[in-house]
Amino acid sequence: MASLHARGQLTVDFQQIFERALNTDRGRFSGRLVLDVPAGEGRTTQWLLHSGARVIPMDLFPAFYKLKEPTCQVCDLNERIGLSKESVDFVISQEGIEHLPNQLFAMMEFSRVLKRGGRLLLTTPNQSNMTAKLSYLFSESERFGRIMPPNTVDGLWFNSRESGKIYFGHLFLSGVCHLNVLAEVAGFRLERIHFTRLQPSCLLPFLFLYPWMALIQLLNLRRNLRKNPEARREYWKVFWLSINPKILLDGTLMLEFTKEQDSEEAKENLYRNWHQVQKNRP
């Protein structure tokens, strides 16, 4: 779901990242039904087929898809996915979530079509690494000095005048903690953070700033634990996510989630936990 003029290059780049990260574990896809969305040119679909998987490729623009079989179906992740409930074993979504204004809806759709215990593999530009943090500080941009802050020239594009739909560029970039909250609301548990590639521009700021970041986050954790000790488990989890060098130095965010429960069950459990925390707050 990258912009039309950049789509081909982005597809190749992130496809290589995906293959490198999962090549040693590709046997787990054998015989499994996998939803590949957005499928792009079909390289992930081809890799999955060679791994023995059965694949359902979907994309907003099937015209970019290059494989003859299986056929790529039209899918707009702003809308309901055309699959039945709990019908697939894996969902692979590369470089799509950052284009969606309603990311929670997409997460809940991924959860709906996944079987319980199924996995969601999600990749997105890493908004939690050191370079991204500095980019936002200096220019509210994805990459300061190279990309302008969000604007209607680079951040918007249109399918057609007839459809009346607006599609977005990287207007909804999200960090790891943000995505983890949405995933938990949809019934997922964060299973694994895949390290994909070292971002060289992150190294220098990491060396100078990491001790201060860790100290500030630790003080913040301590302050909030004093105010809300019942939230200890949640606060420690987000603390480790926020200071994890694997995330701060990685060029791409590649997260693997397990579907533990339906989204309605997840919301009910989250409500109970929230109510208990509020009741015990000093």
Q: Is residue 235 part of a domain?
A: no
Higher pLDDT, 61 or 20: 61
What's the rounded Cα separation, in Å, for the pair 30 and 48? Answer: 8
- pLDDT, tens digit, for every residue of 115-169? 999 999 999 999 999 999 999 999 998 888 888 999 988 888 766 566 667 888 8
Is there a domain that residue 143 lies in?
Answer: yes
Does residue 118 form part of some domain?
Answer: yes
C-beta pairs of 215-218 under 8 Å, 24+ apart in sequence: 217/242, 217/243
| pLDDT beyond 90 at 192 | yes
| β-pair partners for 125 | 252
CA distance 215 to 208: 13
**2: in domain:** no
User: What proportion of the chain, given as a percentage, has pLDDT over 70?
Assistant: 91
- CATH number of the domain within which 52 lies: 3.40.50.150
**pLDDT value for 160:** 59
Q: Does 274 reside within a domain? A: no
Contact 66, 60 (CB under 8 A): no
Mean local confidence (pLDDT), 69-96 = 96
Query: Is 280 a domain residue?
Result: no
- The number of distinct structural domains making up the chain is 1
- Please state, in angstroms and rounded to a whole number, the distance separating the CA atoms of residues 246 and 251: 10
Q: What is the pLDDT of residues 254-281, one digit of tens each?
A: 999 999 999 899 889 888 887 777 777 7
Residue 138 lies in a domain: yes
Range of the domain at 110: 7-201+249-263
Judge whether 282 lies within some domain. no
Question: What confidence tier does 10 reach under pLDDT thresholds 50, 70, 90?
Answer: very low
4-33: average pLDDT: 69
